[in-house]
Amino acid sequence: MRKLFLGLALIAGAGLALAQPPVVPPAPPPAPVLTTEFFPLKEGSKWVYKVGEAEVTVVVGATANGETKLETQANGKPVASESVKVQADGIYRTKINATTIDPPVKILELETKDGKLVPKAKGAKWSVTSKVQAQPVSGDFMIGDMAKVTVPVSPTPLDCVFVDGPKFNIAGTETSVKYYFAAGKGIVKLSYSIQGAEATLELKTYDESKPK
């Protein structure tokens, strides 16, 4: 009889334990979103670039899982989008028109100095070997000399970090690209050549979103 009661107690105890709601561990705090003044990503901010006689606008959208969506507009209408992510070692382009870049492409190499993420010094190099919808993207970037850049957004030349990608292969097409990053404004100038056809974007205005 004693064994019977003990067995019933064990069964009842097991049933009670099974009936209890599972213990759910607290969710970990969200990872901090990293930022750098060389690519400010406040939601609602806008860059307006002059491209020859035309203009394009890039609007900073929402940030999710560390990725920030950027929408490119022409004549007030969206024409393309991309996503970028700031990590401890660099700024990465992660998506083009919602298509994942695998792995993401680093467009500026960063390091931590005095508690801030800033570009590495002249001579820093990194390679790119990625795919976008099975199309290969490969090449090398290098940080060159600091450059004085005159663009419409500023009445005086801006001190810029120069990033050179002299020979890229994008889906079998030879391409070169040059980025100029300025503190507090991000990309102020972008030049590229695709099969000999060249284009340059120069920053005309930058409107940073204000806290609501």
Q: Is the pLDDT of residue 187 over 50?
A: yes
Looking at residue 196, what is its pLDDT?
81
Gap between the Cα atoms of 48 and 203, Å rounded: 6
| Among the listed residues 134, 138, 125, 198, the one whose alpha carbon sits nearest the alpha carbon of residue 169 | 138
pTM of the predicted model as reported, rounded to 2 decimal places: 0.84
Residue written as token pair 């003990």 = 6
Asked whether the predicted pLDDT for residue 5 surpasses 70, the reply is no
More confident residue, 8 or 83: 83
In the block, residue with structure tokens 């199309």: 135
pLDDT mean across residues, the chain: 87
Residue 212 has pLDDT above 90, yes or no: no
Per-residue pLDDT tens over the stretch 20-56 = 456 667 665 566 779 999 999 999 999 999 999 999 9
CA separation (Å) from 91 to 13, 38, 191? 56, 9, 18
CA distance 139 to 176: 9
Contact present, 101 and 86 (Cβ < 8 Å): no
Query: 46-207 — its CATH code?
Result: 2.40.360
Q: What is the mean pLDDT of residues 158-166?
A: 97
DSSP H helices, the chain, are 2-19
How much of the chain, in percent, has pLDDT values that exceed 70?
85
Hey, what are 103's tokens?
């792995």
Q: Cα(29)–Cα(212) distance, rounded to whole angstroms?
A: 24
Q: Where are the domains of the chain?
A: 46-207
Do the strands 186-194 and 173-182 form a parallel or antiparallel pair, or are they unpaired?
Answer: antiparallel
Q: What is the pLDDT of residues 63-75, one digit of tens each?
A: 999 999 999 999 8
For 125-139, the pLDDT digits (tens) are 999 999 999 899 999
Residue type, 96: I
CA torsion 107-113-114-117 (nearest 10°) is 10
